[in-house]
Every structure is written in C-alpha cells, then in structure tokens.
Homo-oligomer: A and B are copies of this chain.
C-alpha cells in the first residue's frame, strides 16, 4: 500500500537548486514522485511553480521525505492551521515539537500566514494568540509590536516557560530558503551546503571493500595510486597483501614510494625507522640512498627480485603477480631508481594507458600522482580518494565525477582495515584467480 501527499513549491526554484534538492531528497529517502504541474518562469525574473505528489511504502518514510521538502520550502496543498500544544513545564517542550531552520518562516494561524520573529535555527516556535500587556519587555518578542494581533517567534528550549503555545509537527508552517540573487552579487557568493568529507570511517571502508570485491567479481580492473606515506605509516604489508590477493591490476606511484617499500624489504626500515617496533626513530637517510644504489647495482627492481635482493613488499608482489606498474619521476626524487620514468610527458602517457583501462581508481595519500591520474580519467570512472589532508580530498573530488568517495582519514589504518575486509573470507585469492 502506498502513502502519498501533494506539495507545492514556488519561486526561483530551479536556479536556486530547490528542485534539485527536492527531487534528490525523494529518491535518496526511498520514495517516488509524480509531477502534477510545472510552470517554468520564461525569463530569468519570472518565478516558477511546481506541484508534485510524493509517495512512499510506509508512513515513516513519507514523513521523512515531507520533512526534507518542507525544509526546502515545500508547502502541503491545502495547509491547515499550525498545531499548538502548551509547554508542560519550564524548559520542557511538548513531544514532536517543531524545530526551526534559520530561514524566514511563516505560520498559518487562524487562517492567516504570519511571519515568525527572531528567526534562528534549532529553536522552538511559539505562537502568542493575544500578547499580554507586558510582552516584549525582557523576553524574546520584539518590543515594537503592538498588542492585539497574534504573534509568532522563536524561543530556545532553555527559555521555554510553562504554558507557552509551542508549534508541533510541521503542518501550517512554511519556510522560505534564500533564493539566488537575480544579478551577480560581486564577491558575495550564494552558498549551497558543500560536500562534507566527514563520514563514519569503518562503515565507509566497508563500502569500499564491497565495491572492490564487486569490481573484481565482474572481471574489472583496479588501479591503485599510492604515495610514500603508505609505506612510512606502516601500511605497506596490507597493500602487498591486496596485490598478492589479486586485487590490484595497476599501480601508479613515484620513485619515493618504491624506494620506501624496497628499503623495508632490504633493511627492514622506512626512512631509517622500523615501522613495527618504532626502533631507531632517527633519520636513517643512509638506508634510503643505499637502497637506491642497491637497485641500480642490480639493474632494476625486477632484476633485484630475481637476484633475491628484494624478497617482500609491494614492489616484490607487483613483480611476482605481473601488476602493470608505472613509477613516474619528480624533481624531488633521490636517485632515481632505474625503473622510474624521469620524463614527465612519457610518464603521463604511461599513466594515461593505466587510467583508461581502470574501472575503479583508489588514490592513497598522494596529491601529485592523484592529480596526474585524475587529469586522464573520464568522469564516469569510480574513484576513491583517501588522504589525511582535507584540502587534498576536496581538490581531487572537484571534477564532476559521477561516483566518488572522499575520505579524510589516516592511510596507516585505512589500508590495513580495507585489506582485512577485502581478504577476510580466506579464499580471496581463489575468488579472483581465474581472471
């Protein structure tokens, strides 16, 4: 059985993003809609009007949807008066009280829309049918108001007094979200709630793990872009496990990443620190530059693996499992390793080949390489971007991708958690071995 209600919106509802948010809310919350009527303003100064019926399978879902539409300015067709309930005690609001937004608001009282004074978010909404003679002195109501006519104003929970008539539910209340100014406002911008990178960490990693397994189950191609912090933060073993498990088809990184990883295999340290025991926490540049000289001596990473110089780690697993690996050079490199492509244009071409083959790209703690890969990606490729710096995540997601996850989190705990979730069924390698 379906539950439905009809609502109306009017104003500059297209260019202010109102319609986008309303349609999105219905779909996000699991409902559906029918547009009864949509009159689009012909010129930029004419307002538009929309009447639509929203439906859901149960009343709770419908209530959630109507709440969102209400906050975006939708009003129920044929609205009834606001429902008022007296506060049972000081500071105690009635159950199901209406909590305000920060937008201009009106209440339908006695058949008339009256404006709500002192608008502020997260307050109760109190209606005063006949203001007492001393109203407006020392309390929240405006002193300039003449007696006699009903008034509505916000009150913080804290200021509620026993007997205050508090609005409940949201019928008989309409909000007016600000509209985009008709003419450009100079430096002042019209702000729409931006993309917030804040998410519950473990639940989000679980979603990434599920996606990774799904892509591989479909025979898809996984590309990993990794920065040196992956190794230095102690996440190298976990990434190596993902490679060994068959979950990485292409690795795009730099000279620093590879050198850190190889140093761990040869000397057990990363920039001189043992990342398990935390011993010798001084800068052992010696190991770093010595690692480079060892690989040069061997003639390259693959040769070093064959000679038994390198026996574990991400690069080792990439060689063993034939992962398509591109190491792109940069002017801050030491060495570089013989495998590093030092010419930027050549490196871009190699990255481009990887990017166009990828079905999902996981970007781990590197701005430089992630931007280089992002420059070559169609907007339809799934992207996961993980970095501890919010600015990096924002910059990488700001490309109009259709499906993207940004996480501001610690690479040193993200990769091990991801590897555990992806590989946990034990037979992960079997599962993806035949592709």
Contact residues in B for A201 (Cβ distance below 8 Å)? 233-235, 410, 412-413
Q: Which of B41, B207, B369, B413 contacts A331 (CB 8 A)?
A: B369
Q: Which of B26, B200, B285, B379 contacts A234 (CB 8 A)?
A: B200
Q: How many copies make up the complex?
A: 4
Does the CB pair B181–A402 fall under 8 Å? yes
Name the interface residues of A323-375: CB closer than 8 Å to any CB of B.
328-336, 340, 342-348, 351-352, 355-356, 368-369, 371-372, 375
Contact residues in B for A379 (Cβ distance below 8 Å)? 101-104, 177-178
Q: Which of B16, B92, B281, B289 contacts A297 (CB 8 A)?
A: B92
Does the CB pair A157–B187 fall under 8 Å? no
Is A15 an interface residue when CB atoms closer than 8 A count as contact?
yes
Does the CB pair B280–A29 fall under 8 Å? yes
Q: Point out which of A14, A119, A208, A276 has the most chain B C-beta atoms below 10 A from its C-beta.
A: A14
A17 and B22 CA atoms in complex are apart in Å by 11
Contact residues in B for A130 (Cβ distance below 8 Å)? none
20 new A-B pairs (CB below 8 Å) besides A35-B42, A200-B234, A409-B412? Answer: A29-B282, A92-B296, A102-B377, A122-B288, A122-B334, A157-B289, A157-B293, A187-B208, A192-B195, A198-B233, A200-B275, A201-B233, A203-B234, A203-B275, A205-B413, A330-B372, A331-B344, A332-B368, A388-B410, A409-B413
Contact residues in B for A397 (Cβ distance below 8 Å)? 191, 194
| A203-222 contact mask (Cβ, 8 Å, vs B): 1 or 0 | 11101100100000000000
A125 → chain B closest CB, angstroms: 12
A283 → chain B closest CB, angstroms: 8
Is A305 an interface residue when CB atoms closer than 8 A count as contact?
no
| A372-409 contact mask (Cβ, 8 Å, vs B): 1 or 0 | 10011111101000001111001001111111111011
Closest to A282 in B: B68
Name the interface residues of A6-63: CB closer than 8 Å to any CB of B.
14-17, 19-20, 23-30, 32-35, 38, 40-44, 50
Contact residues in B for A26 (Cβ distance below 8 Å)? 44
